[in-house]
Structure 1
Amino acid sequence: MLDINFSPFPNLETKRLSLRQVKANDADAILSLRSNDEVMKYIPRPYLKTKEDALQLIAMFDDKIESGIGINWGIYFLEEPEKLLGIIGYYRMKPEHYRAEVGYMLFPEYNGKGIVSEALQRVVEYGFKDMKLHSIEAVLDPENKGSEKVLIKNGFVKEAHLIENEYYEGRFLDSMIYSLLNK
């Protein structure tokens, strides 16, 4: 079984991006991200309503990092280190299976610029090399064609299409699972 430790916090960089820990001073941006209709369209989670909600979410991120059960990075341009573009992270860890679920969200104005792909490549590299994962999965709404395209572009393959496997706000939703193996 994997023994995962995120201390010290692993700040990551790419050619254009800085991936670092989300802090309390990012609360307004997190609130804006998690209350944006376009961002949340395919994510069956409650919208954030207040800055306090955002601070509680950031505290939950911190708790997961400290306990080694999850990690989230804020996505920032290297040249604009205070402007949050989105978040990416490992949300559901399965250390006994050497597997984790990756997820991400991005402000709509940054879609189509290769940002998620660039961040995903670095987070996948960290997952395989540093966390010693064997596989990484992504769970998405079948209607989320943009996310599906990013995953395919980055070598993920479709494992499953689950029919009405999740109940949210009075209706049953389908999910697709894509995965990538550490070769």
Structure 2
Amino acid sequence: MYKSPYEAYPHVEAEEVIIRKIVSSDLDRLYEIYSNENLFRHSPMMLKKNKETVANMIGHFERDFNKHKMIMLGIAFRKTPDDLVGTFELFDYNKVVNMITVGYRLNEQFWGQGIVSKAVQAMTDYLFNCIGINRIQAFVMPENIKSQNVLIRNGFTVEGTIRQGTVWKGHGVVDLILFSRLRADEFD
């Protein structure tokens, strides 16, 4: 039996990272992420140019969770849990199929340290073992090699490329590579 990821706000602790609820005191760090053009080169979301917009987003995260629309979480180091270094998204939860889509974004100053790989590993473990999700999937632009490598390192399978299959804000119609990992993969 599985439960909905919306039963309680996820709080995931791993050896080096924590994935937690984003709160108003995260505003400055969240603004650093959402105002950095390099972080949106391969993203369906748009850059945010003022801090007030990002402050409003924090309130929307709670609303979206309560409406079962999406779960936006912060990534922090375990040693400094109040210092946000990235975000982790859970969305498109399908109860019938028992699957969820994930996405992530990391402050550029922390790139190349394996933080996102550790966060994906921790969230995958949480979704499979605590929630009972059967399928986790992610969509990545073909140009985003780093994100593809994160997923492959974490046991995700490349299912194929969805050619010109969706519109991403700021990018128009795009190709996306679909990655997935099944709960059954844990035992292969």
Whether TM-score is above 0.5 comes out as yes
Aligned counterparts of 2:147 and 2:3: Cα–Cα separation in 1? 30
**Which amino acid is the alignment partner of residue 173 of structure 1?**
V
Aligned counterparts of 1:53 and 1:123: Cα–Cα separation in 2? 27
Q: Quote the offset at 1:130 in angstroms.
A: 2.0
Distance 1:22 1:140, change over 3 A: same
Equivalent position of 2:112 in the other structure = 112
Distance 1:47 1:145, change over 3 A: same
Aligned counterparts of 1:78 and 1:7: Cα–Cα separation in 2? 24
Equivalent position of 1:45 in the other structure = 45
Question: Would you say the 8 A contact 1:75–1:119 is kept in 2?
Answer: yes
The reply on whether 1:173 has 2:174 as its aligned counterpart is yes
Q: Quote the offset at 1:68 in angstroms.
A: 3.3
Equivalent position of 2:86 in the other structure = 86
**Which amino acid is the alignment partner of residue 38 of structure 2?**
E
Aligned counterparts of 2:128 and 2:74: Cα–Cα separation in 1? 20
Q: May I ask how many residue pairs the two structures share in their alignment?
A: 183
Q: Quote the offset at 1:72 in angstroms.
A: 2.4
Q: Quote the offset at 1:67 in angstroms.
A: 3.1
Distance 1:10 1:176, change over 3 A: same
- TM-score (norm: length of structure 1): 0.91
Q: Quote the offset at 1:7 in angstroms.
A: 4.7
Q: Deviations over 1:71-114 (max 9, x none)?
A: 22211112222221101131221122101001100011211111
Question: Would you say the 8 A contact 1:7–1:66 is kept in 2?
Answer: no
**Which amino acid is the alignment partner of residue 172 of structure 1?**
V
Equivalent position of 1:124 in the other structure = 124
Distance 1:182 1:36, change over 3 A: same
Aligned counterparts of 2:162 and 2:49: Cα–Cα separation in 1? 30
User: Which contiguous aligned blocks of 4+ residues in structure 1 show a shift greater than 4 angstroms?
Assistant: none
